[in-house]
């Protein structure tokens, strides 16, 4: 085993993604993930609560990143510009994660329960963004609507990026999709 | 019992909504719904597959209405204008349904499983709208994005309308929310 081994968490993630892709999420057990990673079940549970958390474990960090970025912007920034800047900050987190994101998207898409979980996570993100905008003094319905529109842009951009070769980064897709939304709504 | 009795389906719906509101969705049985409506369980199952369908039974009709309206519009209509017209057509269906929609929203909001079900239904509506737009010749990512933005507008409008006294109709909220989205995206 001469090749470089990433840390335990990284090895578990990699093993899990391989198995979910090869056999499907349902058919994979925690024991198999640990074995493939050359680790024990106990080590798995030190890093993840269950096998679903390998796919969704990053979502609370993402929610905090949205909230913190919104809170740190000058008060003069308009609601949609604040959402755009926040999406860029989030995109930066995914810079080295195209292979993982692509594989994850395929696993989630293939399973109804995981797709519903993903929708629930996106809905909490939207709530977090709306909360952040209200704390910036944005009134309703602008806060909820800017948040929903922002998450729609994020969802479409993320799907385009994961379907791509990864040569262009997520932030490029976000910029394009935001511009597209502006053009679409201007035409009504 | 001198008062006017609506049809069996209407009576079942009314009884179900009363019980879901009084006791919660989980705690209500089909037997209790049928009894409250003065009907049998057998009659309930002639109208609804289960107690959840009282809340979500209208969603496939809604999906068809979105698809048919999009298909019937002149080809010169821009993507967002097509989505706007479709939302207005859907709003017309809710004209006499404010009390039901308001009660339903409260029941769905109070239950995690129902909230997730609602998100899944909104996601299928978005897919139906994107399909309809692609059939009109709209390219990607515009089709998916206009669909997601349209559903975001629908969701925010619907929540505002159900939270209101119902004096103003849903289509007024949709017009306002669409205008708000245009103003928000113009400011970026």
Per-residue pLDDT reduced to its tens digit, A118-174: 999 999 999 999 999 999 999 999 999 999 999 999 999 999 999 999 899 999 999
In this prediction, residue A57 carries a pLDDT of 86
A64 is a domain residue: yes
**Per-residue CA distances from B104 to A27, A88, B12, B31, B163 (Å):** 37, 37, 14, 20, 11
Number of independent structural domains in chain B: 2
The answer on pLDDT for A79 being more than 80 is: yes
- Which residues span the domain enclosing B74? 58-186
Band (pLDDT 50/70/90 cuts) for residue A1 is very low
Task: Decide: helix, strand or coil at residue B169.
Answer: coil
Confirm whether B90 is domain-assigned: yes
Inter-residue contact B144 to B130 (CB < 8 Å): yes
pLDDT band at A6 (very low <50, low <70, confident <90, very high): low
Structure confidence at residue B57 (pLDDT): 86
- Tens of pLDDT, residue by residue over B12-59, are 999 999 999 999 999 999 999 999 999 999 999 999 999 999 999 888
Kindly list the residues from chain A whose CB atom is less than 8 angstroms away from the CB atom of residue B151: 152
Closest Cβ–Cβ partner in B80, B144, B187 for A187: B80
Residues A182 and A102 in one domain: yes
d(CA B93, CA A79) in angstroms, rounded, equals 32
Asked if the Cβ–Cβ distance from B84 to A188 is below 8 Å, we say yes
CA atoms within 13 A on the CB side of B35: 6
Tell which residue, B113, B139, B114, B106, has the closest CA to residue B56. B114
Flag whether A3 is in a domain.
no
Contact (CB<8Å) A184/B142: yes
**A152, A160, A173, A179, best to mutate vs chain B, most B CBs in 10 Å:** A152
- Measure the CA–CA gap between B88 and B49, rounded to whole angstroms: 29
Nearest CA in chain B to A119: B119
Q: Do B49 and B69 fall within a single domain?
A: no
Residues near B92 by beta carbon (within 8 Å), at least 6 away in sequence: B171
CATH of the domain at B41: 1.10.10.60
Residue among A50, A173, A56 at smallest CA distance from A107: A56
Smallest CA–CA distance, residue B121 to chain A, in Å, is: 10
Q: Which among B119, B180, B188 has the least Cβ separation from residue A81?
A: B188
Q: Name the residue in chain A with its Cα closest to that of B117.
A: A116
Q: What is the pTM of this model?
A: 0.90
Q: Is residue B3, in this structure, part of any structural domain at all?
A: no
Distance CA B46, CA B7 (A): 13
- Give yes or no: residues B112 and B156 share one domain: yes
The answer to whether position B109 is within a domain reads: yes
Find the CB nearest A188 among B78, B116, B119.
B78
CB-CB neighbors (< 8 A) of B116 in chain A: 116, 119-120
Q: Is residue A1 part of a domain?
A: no
Using the Cα atoms of residue B64, residue B66, residue B69 and residue B70 in order, give the sign of their dihedral: negative
The 10s digit of each residue's pLDDT in A83-104 is 999 999 999 989 889 999 999 9
B79 in any annotated domain: yes
Cβ–Cβ contact B123 with A under 8 A = yes
Q: Does residue A47 contact residue A55 with C-beta atoms inside 8 Å?
A: no
Q: What is the pLDDT of residues A43-56, one digit of tens each?
A: 999 999 999 999 99
Co-location of B95 and B158 in the same domain = yes
CB proximity A41 to B under 8 Å: no
Taking CA–CA distances from B153, the nearest residue in chain A reads A145
- CB-CB contact of B169 with A166 (8 Å): no
Work out the number of other CB atoms within 10 angstroms of the CB of residue A7. Answer: 9
Helix then strand then coil, in percent of chain A rounded to 5, is 75, 0, 25
Judgement on whether residues A28 and A116 belong to the same structural domain of the protein = no
Instruction: Name the minimum distance, in Å, from the CA of B54 to any CA of chain A.
Output: 21
Residues A80 and A162 placed together within one structural domain of the fold = yes
Contact A184 B79 (CB under 8 A): yes
Instruction: Enumerate residues 6+ apart whose C-beta is below 8 A from A166.
Output: A98, A99, A102
> What is d(CA B101, CA B187) in angstroms, rounded to the nearest whole number?
33
Distance CA A48, CA A123 (A): 23
Q: What are the pLDDT digits (tens) for A7-41?
A: 999 999 999 999 999 999 999 999 999 999 999 99
Residues in chain B within 8 Å Cβ distance of A133 = none
**B88, B141, B142: best to mutate for the A interface, most A CBs within 10 A:** B141
Token pair listed for A120: 């629930």
Asked if residue B71 and residue B22 are part of one domain, the reply reads no
Each residue's pLDDT tens digit, B108-167: 999 999 999 999 999 999 999 999 999 999 999 999 999 999 999 999 999 999 999 989
Q: Nearest-CA residue of chain A relative to B144?
A: A156
Write out the two tokens for B90. Answer: 């859907």
Is residue B148 within 8 A of residue A159, CB to CB? The reply is no
Does B114 share its domain with B181? yes
Which residue is associated with the tokens 């909104």? B122
* pLDDT given at position B5: 56
Q: A73 and chain B: CB distance < 8 Å anywhere?
A: no
B18-47 per-residue burial string, b: 16 or more CB within 10 A, e: under 16: ebbeeeebeebebebbbebbebeeebbeeb
Q: Model ipTM?
A: 0.88
First to last CA, chain B: 61
CATH of the domain at A161: 1.10.357.10
Statement to judge: residues A45 and A67 lie in one domain? no
Q: From CA A76, how far away is CA A81, in angstroms rounded?
A: 10
Same domain membership, residue A70 and residue A44: no
Smallest CA–CA distance, residue B92 to chain A, in Å, is 20
pLDDT reading at B74 higher than 50 = yes
Residues B137 and B82 in one domain: yes
Same structural domain, A32 and A67: no
Say yes or no for a CB contact (<8 Å) between B144 and A159: yes
Within a domain: B1 = no
Query: Is some CB atom of chain B closer than 8 A to the CB atom of A77?
Result: no
């Amino acid at each position: 085993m001469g090749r470089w081994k990433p840390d335990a968490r990284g090895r578990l993630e990699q093993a899990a993604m391989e198995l979910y892709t090869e056999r499907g999420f349902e058919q994979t057990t925690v024991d198999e993930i640990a074995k493939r990673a050359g680790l024990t079940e106990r080590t798995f549970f030190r890093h993840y609560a269950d096998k679903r958390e390998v796919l969704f474990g990053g979502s609370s960090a993402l929610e905090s990143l949205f909230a913190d970025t919104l809170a740190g912007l000058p008060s003069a920034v308009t609601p949609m510009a604040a959402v755009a800047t926040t999406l860029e900050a989030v995109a930066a987190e995914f810079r080295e994660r195209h292979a993982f994101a692509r594989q994850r998207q395929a696993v989630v898409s293939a399973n109804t329960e995981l797709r519903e979980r993903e929708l629930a996570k996106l809905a909490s993100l939207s709530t977090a963004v709306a909360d952040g905008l209200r704390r910036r003094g944005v009134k309703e319905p602008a806060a909820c609507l800017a948040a929903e529109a922002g998450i729609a842009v994020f969802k479409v951009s993320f799907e385009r990026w994961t379907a791509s070769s990864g040569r262009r980064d997520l932030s490029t897709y976000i910029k394009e999709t935001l511009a597209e939304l502006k053009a679409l709504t201007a035409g009504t």
